[in-house]
Structure 1
Amino acid sequence: MMIGICSLKVIMYEAQSLKAKRQILKSLIERIKSRFNVSIAEIGNQDKWQIGEIGFCCVTNSRKHADEMIHHVINFIEKDGRLDITECEVEIL
């Protein structure tokens, strides 16, 4: 069993309040949940209105598949024009 873990720090230039930030992140998280088979949540910087931290993971039977899944989700997030990824940490266990 292989577990792929990714932690992303993102910045949202359009967000002018915590409410706007949460709307953007909630929308993105729900779209990822419905499209990819991963567990995902906001994991940090919850009190800052332009910076967010998202964590997600997948469980699979091969390292290659875990790596592919993580990169597909990262590419999906990068294509979303509402935020930019500032840091990315990937770990496969």
Structure 2
Amino acid sequence: MWIGWIEFDLLLGDVHSLKEKRSIVRPLVAELARRFAVSAAEVGAQDLHRRSTIGVSLVSGDGWHIRDVLESIDRFVGERPELQVLASRRRLLDSDD
């Protein structure tokens, strides 16, 4: 069994309130879950209106599949015009680790 995750530190564009932040973050999290069949959530910086940390994880029997999905997710988030990726961190673990 393989477990993979990616975490994004995001700077949101022209956002002036937590309500505006939610209007960007919630659809992004929902689209990640729908498009890539993964678990996704805002996992940090919930009280800051211009920053967000999004975590995405998945489990598979094939490590290569996880690498491909994480790469696709990284590209998808990086192409979003309403946000800037400040950092992304990935991790891949085998159940034998």
TM-score over 0.5 for the alignment? Answer: yes
CA–CA separation in structure 2 for the residues paired with 1:22 and 1:74: 21
Q: Is 1:76 equivalent to 2:53 in the alignment?
A: no
Query: Unmatched 5+ residue regions in structure 2?
Result: none
Superimposed CA distance per residue, residues 33-72 of structure 1 (whole angstroms, 9 cap, x where no aligned partner): 1111110000000000000000010111111111111111
Superimposed CA distance per residue, residues 5-53 of structure 1 (whole angstroms, 9 cap, x where no aligned partner): 1111000022111110111000111111111111000000000000000
Percent sequence identity over aligned pairs: 28
CA–CA separation in structure 2 for the residues paired with 1:89 and 1:81: 20
Aligned to 1:65: 65
Question: Secondary structure in 1 aligned to 2:28?
Answer: helix
Question: Secondary structure in 2 aligned to 1:41?
Answer: strand
Aligned to 1:5: 5
TM-score by length of 1: 0.95
TM-score by length of 2: 0.92
Aligned to 2:22: 22
Aligned residues: 93
Query: Unmatched 5+ residue regions in structure 1?
Result: none
Moved over 3 A (4+): none
Question: Secondary structure in 2 aligned to 1:25?
Answer: helix
Aligned to 1:86: 86
Report the aligned-residue RMSD: 0.8
Question: Secondary structure in 2 aligned to 1:19?
Answer: helix
